């Protein structure tokens, strides 16, 4: 759990490091904590296209699109993260600053960035489009060397593509993964750069040269425009039919998940580095939304019952779950959470390992009979959940069982 919230900070930094968001975003502050972070614009007067809109129009068919506010990321967030000793975030921020200095990339010139990811089954392939920089071959090669990567060049429709040879393991989350074994970088001209999967980069070039049309649906564009423009990250995600069908086949546990058609919202970081996530989960009907709302509330309540108690290590998770707000309106389910800095500090606090305890019961390490039984039960539930249960079950320490109302019989 601590790693998850540290990763949230790192995520906002990494995305903003490769580009920025709409330079015309209104304001730099966060919206009120009580709002959902999503602004309804249906029926409103159509605004003129922005640079971000132009970049979105250049993307091929995508199931996830996102926009990042570069001005806030580099001018406000990055300097603060350098002094934040949480989960190595300070070292990562410093390395990004060093990278931009060594390669000569002037981040102040970045005007806008969009991210597009298309799903093929459970694997995604994507591209980041950056507007505002026009690196020459020497700068690109310097960046490649700084990454310590081998690369080769090729020509596609008059544009030089730098292909990074990578054997790194693809990042994944449960059953989902991101294709990273064929990365490419291309300067597209007009102060525009594409970085991502080779196939997707070529599709962007096809759209830019007029050989193909942009593939982002009108529904995805409309959903993105509903989100708060001043947020650090704005996103819209279409849930592919294949994933929804697979979820429906996993049993009643994922029945309501299979009704989700689209997720849109914002991720933001406050001035004190508190985190907030505001999302709208869109279903096909009010009945589907009500069932999903009830299901999510039930999961949160179950989590609070499990983690609440006298142990401060688990009680903090219950406090986090208390901050989750869920509601519904027509076919939309709203989900939001605002993590104050003090809660984040507790989640990421480095703990001193407790002294070794005497082993109890039968089992390996510090596990007792009851803990082993619970662990085996968790594994069985994971297998029943199929691919959507592809997460490691938690380990239950004997000390936690001793403090609970559940007693291990001899």
Question: Of 371, 325, 385, 270, which is closest to residue 36 (Cα–Cα)?
Answer: 325
Q: Quick one: pLDDT at residue 49?
A: 79
Helix H segments across 181-262? 198-208, 218-225, 241-248
- CB burial readout 352-362, b (16+ within 10 A) else e: eeeeeeeebee
Helix (H) or strand (E) segment spanning residue 294: helix 286-307
- Whole-number pLDDT of residue 379: 55
148: Cβ contacts below 8 Å, ≥ 6 apart: none
Query: Which residues are CB-neighbours of 56 under 8 A, at least 6 positions away?
Result: 65, 67, 114, 116, 214, 216, 221, 224
Q: What pLDDT, on the 0 to 100 scale, is given for residue 56?
A: 95
Inter-axis angle of helices 89-103 and 2-17, nearest 10:
10
Confidence at residue 358, expressed as pLDDT on a 0 to 100 scale: 53
Give the separation between CA 335 and CA 348, rounded to whole angstroms. 23
pLDDT confidence of residue 180: 87
Rounded Cα distance between 49 and 214, Å, is: 15
What are 378-409's pLDDT values in tens digits? 555 555 455 445 544 444 444 444 454 544 44
Residues 172-214 have pLDDT tens digits of 877 788 898 888 999 999 899 999 999 999 999 999 999 999 9
Listed in sequence order, the DSSP H helices in 49-107 are: 51-58, 70-72, 78-82, 89-103
How confident is the model at residue 186, as a pLDDT?
93
0.75 cut: is pTM over it? no
Low-confidence ranges of the chain (pLDDT < 50): 1-36, 40-44, 360-374, 377, 384, 387-388, 391-402, 404, 406-410
pLDDT at 236: 97
């Amino acid at each position: 759990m601590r790693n998850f919230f540290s990763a949230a900070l790192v995520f906002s930094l990494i995305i903003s490091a490769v580009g920025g968001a709409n330079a015309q975003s209104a304001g730099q502050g966060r919206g009120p904590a009580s709002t959902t972070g999503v602004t309804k614009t249906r029926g409103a007067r159509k605004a003129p296209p922005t640079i971000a809109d132009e970049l979105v129009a250049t993307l091929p068919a995508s199931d996830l699109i996102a926009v990042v506010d570069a001005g806030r990321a580099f001018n406000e967030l990055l300097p603060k993260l350098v002094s934040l000793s949480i989960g190595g975030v300070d070292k990562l921020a410093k390395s990004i600053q060093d990278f931009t200095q060594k390669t000569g990339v002037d981040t102040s010139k970045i005007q806008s960035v969009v991210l597009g990811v298309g799903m093929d089954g459970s694997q995604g392939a994507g591209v980041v489009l950056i507007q505002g920089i026009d690196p020459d071959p020497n700068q690109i090669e310097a960046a490649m060397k700084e990454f310590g990567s081998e690369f080769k060049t090729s020509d596609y429709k008059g544009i030089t593509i730098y292909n990074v040879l990578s054997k790194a393991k693809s990042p994944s989350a449960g059953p989902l993964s991101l294709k990273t074994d064929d990365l490419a970088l291309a300067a597209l001209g007009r102060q525009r750069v594409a970085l991502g999967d080779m196939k997707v980069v070529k599709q962007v070039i096809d759209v830019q040269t007029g050989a193909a049309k942009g593939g982002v649906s009108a529904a995805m564009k409309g959903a993105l425009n509903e989100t708060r423009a001043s947020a650090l990250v704005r996103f819209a995600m279409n849930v592919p039919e294949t994933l929804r069908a697979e979820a429906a086949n996993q049993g009643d546990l994922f029945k309501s998940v299979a009704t989700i058609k689209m997720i849109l919202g914002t991720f933001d970081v406050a001035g004190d580095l508190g985190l907030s996530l505001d999302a709208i989960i869109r279903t096909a009907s009010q009945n589907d939304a009500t069932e999903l709302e009830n299901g999510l509330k039930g999961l949160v309540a179950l989590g609070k019952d499990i983690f609440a108690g006298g142990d401060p290590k688990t009680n903090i998770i219950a406090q986090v779950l208390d901050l989750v707000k869920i509601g519904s309106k027509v076919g939309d389910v709203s989900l939001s959470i605002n993590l104050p800095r003090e809660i984040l500090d507790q989640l990421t606090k480095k703990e001193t390992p407790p002294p070794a305890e005497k082993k109890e019961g039968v089992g390996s390490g510090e596990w007792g009979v009851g803990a082993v039984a619970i662990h085996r039960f968790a594994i069985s539930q994971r297998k029943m959940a199929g691919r959507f249960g592809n997460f490691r079950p938690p380990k239950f320490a004997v000390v936690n069982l001793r403090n609970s109302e559940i007693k291990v019989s001899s």
